[in-house]
């Protein structure tokens, strides 16, 4: 079972993503939060395999703080960056931040679940 933590300031996306992912037998959403502060406060107890992280939470420096926290305190967790920005641009941001993957907020349920699985695999291979 993959444990997923969602950090996105959009209530609508977080709720939708949680419902989509929970429909899969191999994925459990352990938390969905709307700010960097909530993410940093909850990540250690949640112990996720994958963190779905909004690129702008609501500013880039907020998501960068969460990413740094995950790398320091949860080194085995994978990071999946999400954003409404064009996919090519998001791919470059993901590479530059060291995230294991990226997906557009326009992705459908299957694409999101597949991205979570790919990130979990990449993180386990990295470790």
- Condensed to tens digits (0 to 9), the pLDDT of residues 14-60 reads 999 999 999 999 999 999 999 999 999 999 999 999 999 998 887 77
CA distances 4 to 25, 47, 86, 88, Å, are 13, 9, 24, 24
Report whether pLDDT(89) > 80: no
Q: What token pair was written down for 56?
A: 């702008």
- Enumerate long-range contacts of 17-20, CB under 8 Å, 24 or more apart: 17/52, 17/112, 20/109, 20/112, 20/113
Higher per-residue confidence, 59 vs 13: 13
Across 20-126, the runs of DSSP E, i.e. the strands, are: 27-33, 50-54, 78-83, 101-104
pLDDT at residue number 3 = 98
pLDDT, tens digit, 9 for 90 and up, residues 55-78: 888 777 888 899 999 999 999 999
88 within 8 A of 97, measured Cβ to Cβ: no
78 within 8 A of 50, measured Cβ to Cβ: yes
């Amino acid at each position: 079972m993959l444990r997923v933590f969602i950090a996105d300031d959009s209530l609508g996306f977080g709720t939708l993503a949680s419902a989509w992912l929970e429909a899969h037998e191999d994925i459990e959403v352990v938390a969905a939060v709307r700010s960097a502060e909530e993410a940093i406060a909850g990540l250690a107890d949640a112990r996720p395999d994958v963190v779905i992280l909004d690129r702008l939470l609501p500013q880039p420096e907020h998501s960068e703080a969460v990413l740094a926290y995950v790398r320091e305190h949860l080194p085995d967790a994978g990071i999946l960056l999400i954003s409404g920005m064009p996919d090519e641009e998001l791919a470059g941001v993901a590479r530059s931040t060291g995230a294991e993957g990226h997906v557009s907020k326009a992705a459908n349920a299957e694409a999101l679940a597949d991205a979570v699985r790919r990130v979990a695999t990449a993180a386990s291979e990295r470790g």
